[in-house]
A = this chain, B = another copy of it.
Amino acid sequence: MRGLMQDWPMLTHRIIDHAARVHGDREIVTRSVEGPIVRTNYRNLRARALRVAQRLDREGIKLGDRVATIAWNTARHMECWYGIMGIGAVCHTVNPRLFPEQIGWIINHAQDRIVITDLTFVPLLEKIADNLPSVERYIVLTDKAHMPQTTLKNAVAYEDWIAEVDGNFKWKEFDENTAAAMCYTSGTTGDPKGVLYSHRSNVLHSLIANNGDALGATSKDTMLPVVPLFHANSWGIVFSAPAMGTKLVMPGPKLDGESVYELLSTEKVTYTAGVPTVWLMLLQHMEKNKLTLPDLKVVICGGSAMPRSMIKAFVDMGIEVRHAWGMTEMSPLGTVGALQAPYAHLTGEDKLDVLQMQGYPPFMVEMKITDDAGKELPWDGKTFGRLKVKGPAISGAYYRVDTKILDEDGYFDTGDVATMNEHGYMRITDRSKDVIKSGGEWISSIDLENLAVGHPKVAEAAVIGVYHPKWDERPLLIVQLKEGESATREDILSYMDGKIAKWWMPDDVAFVKAIPHTATGKILKTSLRDQFKDYKLPSAAA
């Protein structure tokens, strides 16, 4: 028997309709790419998004067609999202920080028909445009006065383009499972993979984000998403903020400490979200200039692990820190580290211990940790296993990739290795391709690296698994010493001894001039594994 409730498809444009109607005067403040701070509100943003939809419709863009954006966080970019999705086209956010060849590969794989770009990226696109046959037209997010000379095909200034229609237009209606947006993940190996969000997943994700223990901003709050709209669905903030009527502050192209501080301060921002690098720049700027942020209540930090000292710096200012973990494939929220009741009373180092974990999953994110055979492991805060996730805003497949990506129970393997504790708090201990498998037991390369860099002479450390005839793999510690320092294998190992289980101790230490990194600053372990693939451990020889 079916329930008798209304059939109300969850479509993203219903969010901006709600915001325009109930929170129409609430502002979206943008540091524009052209320079000045500009202000609009949800009522006007919706009206302009409708023009985008109408103009795309006139351009011949149909249900399911892909429209790319390569742009900073601005109100214009946001209205493009709603306009594109509102006719059932797919809003494909492209990350401008990728290598130009990757950007080209992605646009070609997605077969984008239109590219909407900020002024910043016109030169970049001009270089690759000859190899983008699917693209029919480029829209530059500016007005006539700022429009550059460009070789881009059919290029037009955005303001001129949307001025060609009157805005008297209705959103299209379609099934809630229709594709709404697309974002490619650039893994460290293989081709980028396209994640294809649906209207349903984006709307549900906004509801998840708006519970008080996730992002949790309200209609009284002001949110500054430093996280770019081209990163993992903007962490959902483009949807969650208007759903609540939260005022938005968009930082545009300037993400340095001074510029972010200026907006946080002048706009009295209460919630902000971004990666640790951004907070490091902010904290340095604040410390140097002895500044405070009395209005800021909550900092959400994801993308990579937040150093303990950074958490402490915010906590000491009376600002709540929520460590978040997620993936492009998860829309992206996976866990958020608000303090649950059992931890609410904690202070000092005990509190930092909890805040340093990645948080716990909200309702609608189901998690398990398993061994290599898929057997579930206990949530005891110690045992670590492959982290697998399930939910309505989590990928079930990649765009134009046939490989099955879910296990038999429908879980997606995150590629991370993690512990879960009795309250559902998750701690990432490794990437599953980096964890060292010693005689069937797992050793966290990250934990060993964190320990080794504590040695006063070590600049950076990497741990990889190396072949061992008895244990399959044993850890090799690779060390880059600080400039001008010297140390022996025994110096390093004796420093580590007693701080970890005996069987976790690296079997050897190799010293290198420089540890290699990816473009985004992560240790390039594939290169190290290649370099040390024939390495003979002393323990193996014995």
Which A residues have a C-beta under 8 Å from some C-beta of B? 1-8, 10, 14-15, 17-18, 21-26, 63-64, 90, 175, 177-180, 195-201, 204, 206-208, 210-213, 216-220, 243-245, 247, 331, 338-342, 344, 360-361, 363-364, 366, 379, 390-399, 406, 410, 412, 422-424
Contact = CB atoms under 8 A, between A and B. Distances in A.
Contacts of A180: 3
Contacts of A217: 212
Contacts of A201: 3, 5
Contacts of A394: 5-6, 8
Contacts of A195: 4
Kindly name the residue among A10, A200, A245, A360 whose own CB sees the greatest number of chain B CB atoms within 10 A: A245
A212 B366 CA distance: 22
Contacts of A177: 2-3
A358 to B, nearest CB: 14
Contact of A6 (B213, B243, B406): B406
Given A339-B220, A341-B220, A390-B8, A22 B360 contact: yes
The 9 closest A-B pairs by CB, nearest first: A3-B198, A22-B424, A1-B64, A8-B392, A207-B207, A212-B218, A4-B196, A5-B201, A6-B396
Contacts of A23: 340, 423-424
Contacts of A395: 4-6
Contacts of A10: 392
A344 B179 contact: no
Contacts of A331: 5
A232 to B, nearest CB: 14
A261 B474 CA distance: 62
Given A212-B210, A212-B217, A198 B2 contact: yes
A64 B3 CA distance: 10
Nearest to A22: B424
B3 A363 contact: no
A407 to B, nearest CB: 12
A200 B204 CA distance: 12
A393 B4 contact: no
A316 to B, nearest CB: 21
Contacts of A399: 4
Contacts of A338: 218-219
B216 A212 contact: yes
A396 B4 CA distance: 6
Given A211-B211, A211-B244, A363-B244, A393 B340 contact: no
A211 B221 CA distance: 13
A14 B364 CA distance: 8
A161 B204 CA distance: 38
Nearest to A335: B22
Contacts of A200: 3, 5
Contacts of A18: 361, 363-364, 366
24 contacts: A1-B64, A1-B178, A2-B175, A3-B178, A3-B196, A3-B198, A4-B195, A4-B399, A5-B198, A5-B396, A6-B410, A10-B392, A17-B366, A21-B424, A22-B424, A23-B340, A26-B341, A207-B207, A207-B364, A210-B210, A210-B212, A212-B217, A213-B218, A245-B340
A48 to B, nearest CB: 20
A357 to B, nearest CB: 13
Contacts of A341: 26, 219-220, 245, 247
A31 to B, nearest CB: 21
